[in-house]
Amino acid sequence: MEGRPKMPQEPADAVDGVAEAGLPTRQELDLNQFLPYRLNRLADRISDELERMYAQRYELNVAQWRVLAWLSHCDDLTAKKVCTYTNMDKARVSRAVQALVDRGLVSRTPSVRDQRVHELHLTGDGAELLSRLIPQAQDWEAELVATLSVGEYRDLLNAMGKLERQLERMG
Amino acid sequence: MEGRPKMPQEPADAVDGVAEAGLPTRQELDLNQFLPYRLNRLADRISDELERMYAQRYELNVAQWRVLAWLSHCDDLTAKKVCTYTNMDKARVSRAVQALVDRGLVSRTPSVRDQRVHELHLTGDGAELLSRLIPQAQDWEAELVATLSVGEYRDLLNAMGKLERQLERMG
DNA sequence: CGAGCATAGTTGCTCTTGAAACTATATGTC
DNA sequence: GACATATAGTTTCAAGAGCAACTATGCTCG
């Protein structure tokens, strides 16, 4: 396992921990080296920025944007699928879809084969909105990753993929 | 890479986009290649797992855990600092600190130099709790990143650092 | 000094979220 | 065919989060 999260030099410990006997000195956690924390902070900040973009310009919240984004390349979708793809609660998805339907961006029709499921599709308006929003999102992302080389970018996605699979295994 | 929720191929675009003239055919966004989405999904899943851990075992929520973690290596802290470090709302921090003080894990004393600020410190109980929690968190992280080589791990944090700095520049 | 402005932190209010209950449809078993 | 169980999706309800208003303290500059 070779201790991963290497700590920045502690001042040779015993800062205020019990140094005397074998008792461990005070535990520290360097959050800047702690992956979950770093990942969260980065993801949050990116999310905030991006959210500002589509919230201001298109009055979409995150859940709605995710539904639309999935619909953009997966034309035959159900609420359930959105749940599993996006890891969002089904209530949240339900409400997001409802809002999109109300705005005429998405159509929802009961499936012929199974009356429980509803097929979701982009309407013309929805497609039109996405045709403006998606390039903006991609441009923004391009600027964000502009400081990474192609290799670094690939490696980043790659590492993230590994972590997701490991997470799957651990869960 | 073996893309996660593998999409069913769409029938080569123009499904309902305006194909006629030079107008772009329907816009697609492959979320699995879209960094903000990938990052968010990964961070969320990690956060969920970790949260389960300290929620179940120690009855801490995310905000409380973050305050404690910062206190663990930054012994002289104020609510304000926690806000800037963690990017959390000051109300949220205030309530988290309040809960920790109520539980006797943290002490809060008005600063002598400036009565507005309150100095936060770990109590003995707080330090004791952390001495159990932190190793568990580190072990969990170690298992998570076990599939990455040392180099991959370093590169990952590195790339994340670059992205954060770029974000700063863009904001 | 004192009026205005800035800052740390708390409290009140509203909106979102997620868990759980619920509805409606489908499937499996005897 | 009827009853038990499973699944998709909606609705209800309580807790948490963020915004804004507020309190208290400190700072600046005439």
Alpha-carbon gap, residue A135 to B91, rounded angstroms: 36
Residue A127: predicted pLDDT:
95
Angle between helices B62-73 and B90-102 (to 10 degrees): 80
Mean pLDDT score of chain A, rounded to an integer?
A: 86
* Angstrom distance (rounded) from CA B77 to CA B69: 11
Cβ of B147 within 8 Å of Cβ of A166? The answer is: yes
Q: Which residue in B44, B142, B160 is closest to A4 by CB distance?
A: B142
Residue A5: per-residue pLDDT: 38
- Measured CA to CA, the distance from residue A28 to residue B134 in angstroms comes to 7
| Residue A77 scores a pLDDT above 70 | yes
Select the residue from B7, B37, B49 to test the A interface by mutation, using most A Cβ atoms within 10 A. Answer: B37
Determine, for residues A46 and B34 on separate chains, whether the beta-carbon distance falls below 8 Å: no
At position A64, the amino acid (one-letter code) is Q
List, for residues B48-96, the tens digit of each pLDDT value: 999 999 899 999 999 999 999 999 988 889 999 999 999 999 999 999 9
B45 pLDDT more than 80:
yes
pLDDT of residue B11 exceeding 50, the answer is: no
What six digits make up the tokens of A67? 């539904």
Q: CA-CA distance, B63 to B89, in Å (whole number)?
A: 10
User: d(Cα A159, Cα B152) in Å, to the nearest integer?
Assistant: 7
| D11 nearest neighbour residue (CA to C1') | A91
DSSP SS3 for A24: coil
Contact yes or no for B154/A2 (Cβ under 8 A): no
B40 CB neighbours in chain A (<8 A) are: 43, 46-47
- Compute the distance between CA of residue A47 and CA of residue A37 in angstroms, rounded to an integer: 15
Residue B114 and residue B78: Cα distance in Å, rounded? 12
Which two structure tokens, joined as six digits, stand for A142? 């391009």
For residue B116, say whether its CB is under 7 Å from any atom of strand D: yes
Which pLDDT does position A97 carry in this prediction?
A: 98
Percentage of chain A beyond pLDDT 90 is 73
Q: Which of B1, B15, B39 sits opposite A158 (nearest CB)?
A: B1
Residue percentage of chain B with pLDDT more than 90:
73
Contact, B79 CB vs strand C, < 7 Å: yes
Q: What is the pLDDT of residues B15-36, one digit of tens each?
A: 333 444 444 456 788 888 899 9
SS3 A166: helix
With CB atoms and an 8 Å threshold, state whether B148 touches A162.
yes
Segment A78-105, tens digit of pLDDT: 999 999 999 999 999 999 999 999 999 9
Is the sign of the CA dihedral A38, A39, A44, A49 positive or negative? Answer: positive
Through-space distance between the first and last CA atoms of chain B, rounded to whole angstroms: 31
Q: Which 4-43 residues of chain B approach strand D with CB closer than 7 Å?
A: none
DSSP-assigned states of every residue in B99-128: HHHHTTSEEEEE-SS-TT-EEEEE-HHHHH
A58-76: average pLDDT: 93
**What pLDDT is recorded for position A141?**
95
A112 CA to D26 C1', in Å?
69
Do the beta carbons of residue B49 and residue A166 sit within 8 Å? no
Question: Which member of B15, B27, B35 has the closest CB to residue A144?
Answer: B35
- What confidence score (pLDDT) does residue A171 get? 76
Strand C contacted by B116 CB (< 7 A): yes
Contacts of B16-19 spanning 24+ positions with Cβ under 8 A:
B16/A122, B16/A124, B16/A127, B17/A127, B17/A131
B109 pLDDT above the threshold of 80: yes
Distance CA A168, CA A35 (A): 17
Interface test with A, best of B26, B47, B52 (most A CBs within 10 A): B26
